[in-house]
Amino acid sequence: MATTEMATAANTKRMIIGLGLSGLSCARFAQRQGWSFDLCDSRETPPGLADIQQEFPQSRIYCGDLEGDLLASYDELIVSPGVALAEPAIQQAIEAGVAISGDIQLFKEHVNKPVIAITGSNGKSTVTSLVGDMLNHCGVKALVGGNIGLPALDLTNEQEADIYVLELSSFQLETTTNLNAEVATILNLSEDHMDRYQGMKDYLAAKQRIFQGAKNVVVNSDDQATIPDHSARNITFSLSSNGASRFYLKNHQGVDCLYCDQQRLLSADEIKIKGRHNLANVLAALALVDAVCKTLGIQLEQTLPAIREFPGLAHRCQWVGNLNGVDCYNDSKGTNVGSTLAAVNGLGVGAKGKIWLLAGGVDKGQRFDELVQPCQQYVAEILLYGRDANNIQQDFMQDGKALCESRIFESMDQAFAVALEKSKAGDLILLSPACASFDQFTNYAVRGEYFRQLVTDASADVNVASEVQHD
């Protein structure tokens, strides 16, 4: 999706669309710059509206359906990531010649420090956080944010940075032109947000915008979609040891190890985050840091202790308990098929038993048949719940025949209870929904905490039963 260059005249008439975290960060940034601006939101009563009115008393605030004539009367629209540019009112403004921008474009125009830019369908929060830890461990002032933690523009209120590490969504990239990152990457690409994009080609085009003006590019050799559509200095990583990638995985004396060229850096056993998908995340983080070592005056080997200590992120293949020999993992952040595919493959390879997979929610227009093969290999049963459970189950059928075992439940509680009843020591219970959460939960974090509480409650019941048996 093309964007128009941001208007910069002092008398520019600006409208900020969307009153969520990103929109409000744009409003606060604009206020610090002394700009005049108005605000709007498609919701009739956005959360915290009274506080927003008090914080920005000089701005008019419009709530309810977006109006094309109103938006077309502005010089520039600063559009929040959650608002699609395809909205008819925004399209009317674009056709009228109104400039389109977003929070990352504003950030790019006003920050003169190097940026590490990270996107992808899966793993980007883990990689972004790990890169920040690696750099800060070496004494580099690396500020982390964007699509996680603080919005990018709020980082400009923090201490002086040596470098910024930004997780960027495809939605943010739609309104970003020529980011000119020090190093940029698409970690991987799989079907997601098909309710917003016309197809994978459209989705990939949004992701590829991260490479515009990048000095260095990190490429996942295992995924052709991560290769930039223009020339740049490429640093490659791969889970194979075919010799074609700078960073790769290779078995050494019976243990998987991470290598840079011919140098063995550390073994998989030294890394706290588990699964092959997380080994790919660590390889990507090494490649990204490698691209900036010279600029920052550090050595890659200095960062290895931070990798060994990195605990992983909540709701991302997070171990949350063991129930009678059954490990339970919370991957509530697995909101698309590709993420769940990575979790199943990543945990399944080393599992002693089978995976009991809890999945379901709002399907976002995805297809789920890509899960069939790994589920046949690693999963005992797919326990579906939520709004689109029936639609999802149809993708596990062919000519009326089930390709892998699945059942439908009304709630996660019911699905978890069956998984707990049927699993045996060595098995895994994995919450990796492959769907959005907002049919039954506020967001993926609330969903993950709910699952963690189910495990905690079940653990208490197990302990009580054990005490009764010993009495």
- Which is catalytic among the residues 122, 147, 220, 281? 147
Q: How far apart are CA 353 and CA 87, in angstroms?
A: 48
Task: Please give the angle made by the CA atoms of 300, 227 and 210, to the nearest 5 degrees.
Answer: 80
Q: How far is CA 225 from CA 186, 204, 220, 233, 281, in A?
A: 8, 7, 9, 17, 16
Residue with tokens 């075919």: 242
User: Known catalytic residue: 147?
Assistant: yes
Nearest to 152 by CA among 121, 187, 106, 118: 106
Element (H, E) at 397: strand 397-398
- Which amino acid is present at 2? A
- Which is catalytic among the residues 108, 122, 124, 277? 124
Q: How far apart are CA 119 and CA 129, in angstroms?
A: 13
Beta-bridge mates of residue 62: 40
Q: How far apart are CA 408 and CA 385, in angstroms?
A: 6
Burial of 417 (0-12, 13-18, 19+ CB in 10 A): middle
13 neighbors 112 (Cβ within 8 angstroms) = no
Task: Please give the angle made by the CA atoms of 135, 136 and 139, to the nearest 5 degrees.
Answer: 100
Q: How far apart are CA 395 and CA 161, in angstroms?
A: 48
* Dihedral sign, Cα of residue 51, residue 52, residue 53, residue 58: positive
Q: How far apart are CA 402 and CA 442, in angstroms?
A: 32
Q: Provide the b/e sequence for 125-146 (b: ≥16 CB within 10 Å).
A: bbbbbbbbbbbbbbebebbbbb
Helix, strand or coil, per DSSP, at residue 240: coil
143, two tokens: 């500020």
Nearest to 356 by CA among 429, 416, 455: 429
Q: How far apart are CA 166 and CA 143, in angstroms?
A: 8
- Which is catalytic among the residues 122, 137, 188, 193? 193
241 neighbors 264 (Cβ within 8 angstroms) = no
Q: How far apart are CA 343 and CA 395, in angstroms?
A: 19
Catalytic machinery residues: 124, 147, 193
